[in-house]
Amino acid sequence: MENNFYRDEFEQMLRETTEEFRMYPSRKVWHSIYNDLHPDRKWPSFAVCLLLLTAILHIGIANNNNISKTTVPLITTTLNASLQNAAPVYHNSSGNNNHAKHNTEDLAQTNRQVISLDSKEVSTDSQEALTSSETETLPATTSGKTLVANDSYDPLMNTATKQVVPNKTGLNPLEKILTVATIPLVSKIANEQKSDREIGAANRTISIVDGNEADVVTTETSAFNGLPVAATDKLGITAVQSERTLSLAEKAWIEDFAFHNLRNPGKWKTNLSFQYYITPSIGYRHLNKNNGFEPPNGSLITTHENDELTQQAAPNFEAGAVMVLGINKKLKVKSGLQFNFTNYNTYAHDLQHPTQTMVPMNDPRSGYLRHQPYNTTYGNVLGSNLSKLNNQTLQLSLPIGLDYRVAGNDKIKWYMGAGIQPSYIMDGNAYLISSDNKNFVQDDAMLRKWNASANLETFVSIKTPSGIDINVGPQLRYQLLSTYTKRYSYTEKLYNVGIKIGVTKKL
Amino acid sequence: MTEELMLAGSIKNNAAAQEELYNRFSPRMLGVCYRFAKNREDAEDMLQEGFIKVFTQLHQYRNEGALEGWIRRIVVHTCINILKKNKKFSESVDLIHAKGIHIREDMIPSIMQAKQVVECIRILPLGYRTVLNLYAIEGFSHKEIGTLLDIEESTSRSQYTRAKAMLEEILVKKNIIHKARKNNFGNASSR
C-alpha cells in the first residue's frame, strides 16, 4: 500500500464514509468459528441450546396459563429497567369499589404502575360488571409516541377523568423511544349489559405523548345508562422521564444495531423452493419365489419363472410437487407429494374355456406353502389370441429426499440425490402366475396397499434468467417391498429408469 | 479485557478471549466483507472464513501496526480468494467494458449515511466493485491489485476509472455528492 493514499478527495470521502460502516453478524457465524476452533466442545453448546429452548418453552407455557377468557390483557414493556421510576403511566381498569370514592386524579396517582413486561388481569369485579365486553389491541408505537391508557372502572362515577402528569421537555428522540417504547394494549370496552347500565361506567383516558408538547388527550367516558357514549377531549400532560441519559456511543450503538439487525423475514424463505417435476420412465420387474417351493408333481417347468413368461417393460411415469429446503449451500432436503403410475406387460393367450389352476400361496398361519385353486382364462401356453396383461398400479407417495450439490456455479449446478417414497397403492391390476407357470390369474386383492420405494438420481440444475431453475437428469426408482401381499408366494420388485424433468422456483 | 490479554488468550485458544476479539472486530470486518460480497449471507461466510484464518495465524502477529489493520488485511485477502473461486468473478474483472450496464434510479437504495454509500458501491458490477474497494478503500496499488486478481495493472487502472465514474454518477443521482463537487474529482491521481 502506498502512503499517498488520500490524494484524491473522492477516494478520501469513500474511505472515511465506509470506515464508519459496521454490520453485526448473526450469532451463528461465531458459533461456526467456535466449532471450527474447538471441535471438542460442540456438545456443551448444544446442551446449552437445548436447555435454553426448554426454558423458553416452559416460560411460554407458564405465561399462557395466566391468560383466561375473562381477562383483558394489558401489556406494557420497557427496554430499560432503569426507567422504571419515571415510567409512563399505565393505568388499567383494575379498580375495585374503593376507587369509586376517589377522584380521578387520585386514581391516576394510585394506579400509576411501573412498566414491566407483564400481563395483568382486570379484576373479577370489573369483569362481572363489564360482561360481554370486547377488547381491541392497539399496535405498538413506533414514532416516539405512546399511548398511555387510563382505563378505570368506577361504578358510581360518570364523569370525565382528568390526568395531569408533568411533561419533561427536551428529551431527544432516542430517549423518547426508549422511555416510551411501550406496547400498551388498550382495551375498548363496550358494555351492553342492560342490568348494569345504571351503575356501570367505564372511563378511559388515552394520552399521546409526543415530544416537547403535550398533545390533546382523548378521554372517553362510557356510561352504561342507556345514553350515548360521551367523549370528552381533555388536556392531559404526560411526561416521561429518564433518570439515565444515554451516552452518544450507546445511542450510536443502539441505532446501528437496530439498523443493521432488522429482522429479515425473507431469510427463511430464501432457503425454501417449490419444485414440480415429471419423470417419464421405463418400468420393469423382478420376480422371485419367497419360499423354497417346488412345482407340483408332473409339472414340466424346467426354467426360471422370469424366463418362462413373456413379459415386457412398459412406460411409467411420476409427477409430483415438493418443497425444497436448503440446509446449507450443498445440501437440500425435500418432501412433498407424488403420483406414480407403474406398469409392465405380460402376454398371455386367451383360453376357450375357464380352466382351473393352482396358485402358490403362503398359509398365513403356518407359513407353509399351499396351492390355492383359481379359475382363469389366461394361459401361458398356446391359445387363441395373445392378450397383453397390464400389470399396473396407481400410487400416491410422500417422497422424502436429499440433494447434494457436487459441483457448479450460480448458473449451473450438478446434484446427486436420493430419497425414500412411502406409497399408498390406490388401484392396480395383479396377474398372478400359477404354480406350474402355465396360467395367469387376476386377483387384485393380492396387491399390497402400502409400499415403499427408494430412488437415486443425479441431475443438472440450470438457472434461467427469470430465476427459475430447470432440473434434468436420470433417476432410478426401486421398489423396496413386494408388489404383492405376503400371502402370495412370489415376491415382485418393480424398478424403473427414467429422466426426471423439474422446475424449481424460489419462494 | 486489554488487547494484550485478549491476544495472549486467543493465541492460547482461549474461547472467551477469542470471542472478545471477534466481538470487537467482527462488525467492522463484516462491513468490509459486505462491500465485496453479493449478499449478507456471502459476507458472513467470508467473515467466518476470515476469522478462522485470523485465529489460526494469530501467533504470527508481531505487534507491528494496529491489530485491526492486520485482521483487515487477512479478511480482505480471504474475500478476494473466495471471489476468485467464482468463475464469474474472473470474467468480470477482465471485462474492460461493462456493456449494457445502466444504473436505474430504483437500483439505488434509499438508506442513510455510510450504509447508503456502501450500498451504492455494491450495485456496481462485481469487477468494478472489487477493484474500487481494493484501490480506493483498502489502499492497494494497481500493481498489487493486478497481482492479487491475476489481471494486468492497466486493466485494474481502467476498471477503477470506470468504476469511479459509475459510482460518482450514482452518488450524484442520490444527492450524496453534488455535481459541482463531482467535477472536482476529475483529476484523480493514480498509483
Tell me the per-residue pLDDT of A244-284, one tens digit each, with 9 for 90 and over: 566 777 777 776 666 666 555 555 556 888 999 999 999 98
- Residues of B whose CB is below 8 A from A39: none
Q: Could you say which of A13, A23, A270 has the minimum Cβ distance to residue B27?
A: A23
Same-domain pairing of B187 and B97? yes
Same-domain pairing of B38 and B124? no
The conformational region for residue A437 under phi > 0 = left, psi -120 to 50 = alpha, else beta, is left
pLDDT of residue A161: 39
Instruction: Find out whether A221 and A230 touch, Cβ atoms under 8 Å.
Output: yes
φ, ψ dihedrals at A325, nearest 5°: -115, 125
- Give which of B75, B113, B124, B129 to mutate to test A binding, by max A Cβ within 10 Å: B113
Q: Are strands A412-428 and A431-433 parallel, antiparallel or unpaired?
A: unpaired
Give B44-74 pLDDT, tens digit per residue: 999 999 999 999 988 888 877 788 899 999 9
The percent of residues in chain A predicted with pLDDT above 90, rounded, is 21
pLDDT of residue B179: 58
Domain end (from B60, B85, B110): B85
By C-alpha distance, the chain A residue nearest B24 is: A24
How would residue A307 be classed by pLDDT, with cut points 50, 70 and 90? Answer: low
Same-domain pairing of B97 and B167? yes
Portion 214-273 of A in contact with B at CB < 8 A: 256, 259-260, 264, 270
SS3 (DSSP) at B183 = helix
Asked if A58 has any chain B CB less than 8 Å from its own CB, the reply is no
Residue A298 scores a pLDDT above 80: no
Give A97-144 pLDDT, tens digit per residue: 444 344 444 444 444 444 343 444 434 344 443 433 443 434 444 343
How would residue A202 be classed by pLDDT, with cut points 50, 70 and 90? Answer: very low
Give the C-alpha separation, A93 to A151, whole Å.
Answer: 4
ipTM over 0.85: no
Nearest CA distance, A36 vs chain B (angstrom): 8
Nearest CA distance, B48 vs chain A (angstrom): 6
A380 contact partners, CB below 8 Å, separation of at least 6: A308, A309, A310, A348, A349, A433, A434, A437, A438, A439, A440
Same-domain pairing of B37 and B121? no
Same-domain pairing of B70 and B121? no
Same-domain pairing of B92 and B79? no
CATH number at residue B57: 1.10.1740.10
SS3 (DSSP) at A253 = helix
Same-domain pairing of B109 and B178? yes
Same-domain pairing of B127 and B56? no
HSE toward the beta carbon, residue A306, CA cutoff 13 A: 11
Across A121-197, the runs of DSSP E, i.e. the strands, are 146-153
Same-domain pairing of B53 and B38? yes
- Integer Rg of chain A from CA: 38
A118 contact partners, CB below 8 Å, separation of at least 6: A75, A76
Higher pLDDT among residues B150 and A302, named by residue:
B150
By C-alpha distance, the chain A residue nearest B144 is: A1
Domain end (from B85, B113, B136): B85
* Mean pLDDT value across residues A431-436: 85
Same-domain pairing of B57 and B147? no
Residue A26 scores a pLDDT above 80: yes
Strand partners for A234 = A217
- Residues of B whose CB is below 8 A from A25: 26-27, 30, 44, 47
Q: Could you tell me the CA-to-CA distances from A344 to A147, A459, B95 in Å, in that order?
A: 72, 26, 56
Q: Could you say which of B30, B55, B117 has the minimum Cβ distance to residue A17?
A: B117
Higher pLDDT among residues B49 and A16, named by residue:
B49
How would residue A156 be classed by pLDDT, with cut points 50, 70 and 90? Answer: very low
Same-domain pairing of B43 and B79? yes
- Give which of B12, B21, B40 to mutate to test A binding, by max A Cβ within 10 Å: B40
By C-alpha distance, the chain B residue nearest A17 is: B114
Same-domain pairing of B144 and B159? yes
Domain end (from B40, B62, B85): B85
Is the Cβ pair B51, A26 closer than 8 Å?
Answer: no
Nearest CA distance, B89 vs chain A (angstrom): 11
Is the Cβ pair B31, A24 closer than 8 Å?
Answer: no
Give A372-430 pLDDT, tens digit per residue: 888 888 887 766 677 888 889 999 999 999 999 999 888 899 999 999 999 999 999 88
Is the Cβ pair A34, B52 closer than 8 Å?
Answer: no
Give the C-alpha separation, A321 to A275, whole Å.
Answer: 5
Nearest CA distance, A150 vs chain B (angstrom): 38
**CB pairs below 8 Å between A and B: how many?**
116
HSE toward the beta carbon, residue A500, CA cutoff 13 A: 31
Residue in the block written with cell 362510557? A222
Is the Cβ pair B30, A13 closer than 8 Å?
Answer: no
Give the C-alpha separation, A181 to A146, whole Å.
Answer: 7
Exposed / middle / buried, residue B60 (Cβ in 10 Å: 0-12, 13-18, 19+): exposed
Domain that holds residue B181: 87-191
CATH number at residue B187: 1.10.10.10
By C-alpha distance, the chain B residue nearest A15 is: B137
Weakly modelled stretches of chain B, pLDDT under 50: 97-100, 103-104, 107-111, 180-190
Q: Which helix (H) or strand (E) holds A221?
A: strand A216-223
Nearest CA distance, B118 vs chain A (angstrom): 6
Q: How many domains does chain B have?
A: 2
Q: Closest Cα to residue B119, out of A87, A260, A471, A118?
A: A260
Higher pLDDT among residues B115 and A442, named by residue:
A442
Strand partners for A359 = A372
- Residues of A whose CB is below 8 A from B15: 34, 37-38, 41
First and final CA of chain B: distance in angstroms? 40
